[in-house]
Chains A and B, each alone.
Chain A
Amino acid sequence: MSMDWLSGPHATFILSAYGIALVVSLYVALAPVFSGKRQRRLIADMHQHQDQQTT
């Protein structure tokens, strides 16, 4: 196992590239999870409101 590159001259470039990729992929992966939960809650509220109006 070689970790020498972490102290090498290109470490900043490699870590920056991986860091940015991590941030972008986390955002892309988590956005639908949170928006899905929010939308389900909003839809549930809407249905509840409709049901209350009809009864």
Chain B
Amino acid sequence: MTSNTSLWKHTKTWFHRWGSPAWFYRTSGLIIPWLWAGFFLLAVPGLFWGLFIAPADYLQGDSYRIIFIHVPSAWQSMLIFAVMAGFALIGMVWRIRVAETLAMCCAPIGAAFTVVTLISGSLWGKPTWGTFWQWDGRMTSELVLLFLYLGVIGLQQAIEEPRRAARAAGLLALVGVVNLPIIHYSVEWWTTLHQGTTVSLLGESSIAPSMLWPLLLMVGAAKFFFAANLLSRTRNTLLVQDREKNWVRETVWGVKQ
């Protein structure tokens, strides 16, 4: 009982520490190189396997190889929106500035993943369906996701005071979460040109293991890319927000004042 209480206390203290910008800046600086290492460790074999080892698809031929960037980007674009809304909620409920900053730094990365998803999907669509674009459920809801990201970025830029901007944009992120189940279930709710679910986390996947493994490596790589990038962007933003504070002075000059 005592050890459990002590473990809980330690975990709580550890989480609270992340709320300190100075601690966040120092600790994330130590983690970022490892995240990049994780990204390269997964992305290099994933890309090589996907582009040069995995066999051609019996129906789509080689054009399916776009899956190794399209699906990881698409999953990541949705996950980032959920993470952004989660941080925005934490920021709103507990007024933790680091959480607000993390939420706002998610938006440009999520928008980039959404752009890659839309462009790669479009380039895959032409040889497969004969068209770059169709206003079907999956594609349209993914485009709405891009507009939501742009809305969050725009709203945040439009308000000068950073904390007010983060709260207003965070509210939009929370409302926008409603789009995530629409994207996910769009292929089941409507008859779409976009194919149905191929990879299932709980059930059996309808994709060959020789194609599934490189795909999973790329999915993992996208997670590391996002985490490293998010921490880098958040560190920069915190440094600018706290430029008058002592911890920034110590960090920039490398000495205690």
Contact = CB atoms under 8 A, between A and B. Distances in A.
A and B bound?
yes
A36 B239 contact: yes
B167 interface: no
B135 interface: no
A24 B76 CA distance: 14
A13 B249 contact: no
Nearest to A41: B252
Contacts of B229: 28-29, 32
Contacts of A32: 229, 232-233, 235-236
B53 A40 contact: no
The residue in A3, A5, A17 that gathers the most chain B C-beta atoms within 10 A of its C-beta is: A17
Label chain B's interface by main secondary structure.
helix
A21 B46 CA distance: 15
How many A residues touch the partner, as a band?
A: 20 to 34
B70 A39 contact: no
Given A13-B124, A28-B109, A39-B240, A2 B232 contact: no
A20 B120 contact: yes
Contacts of A21: 69, 73, 116, 119-120
Interface string A2-33: 11110011110110111011001101110011
B14 interface: no
Given A21-B73, A43-B252, A33 B62 contact: no
A20 B117 CA distance: 10
Given A1-B52, A21-B73, A14 B112 contact: no
B63 A40 contact: no
Interface of B: 51-53, 55-56, 61-63, 65-66, 69-70, 73, 108-109, 112, 115-116, 119-120, 123-124, 126-127, 225, 228-229, 232-233, 235-236, 239-240, 243, 248-249, 252-253
12 contacts: A2-B53, A10-B62, A14-B65, A14-B66, A17-B120, A25-B112, A32-B233, A32-B236, A36-B232, A40-B252, A44-B253, A46-B243
